[in-house]
Amino acid sequence: MIHDMTISWINFMKRKTQRKTDPKFLRELSDMYHKERTENFRENIRNMQNRSRQIEEMQTEKQESYHDYIARRLRETKDE
């Protein structure tokens, strides 16, 4: 796979030196990459906000004390 990518890159570089690349093509390529980067950026921001929200919810949840936990487990085992 890497070999194929290297060959492709070499062929691209040869082609680039042999003739000028069409400016219209370069513009389309640039627009495509810009769109992809923007979408990824927005997705990453959304994911970060969701994770932050989940962390805040976890911090505000009241934790059960150790003694309450032991008492609950004893009740559960007696019921079984």
pLDDT tier at 1, thresholds 50, 70, 90: very low
Residue 6 lies in a domain: no
Parent domain of 35: 23-79
Look up residue 35 and give its two tokens: 């769109």
pLDDT greater than 70 at residue 4: no
Domain count, the chain: 1
Residue 5 lies in a domain: no
Give the whole-angstrom CA distance, residue 15 versus residue 18. 5
Which has the minimum average pLDDT: 21-30, 47-56, 58-67, 71-80? 58-67
Residue 2 lies in a domain: no
Give the whole-angstrom CA distance, residue 77 versus residue 80. 5
Q: Global pTM?
A: 0.35
Residue 65 lies in a domain: yes
CA 33: distance to chain centroid?
17
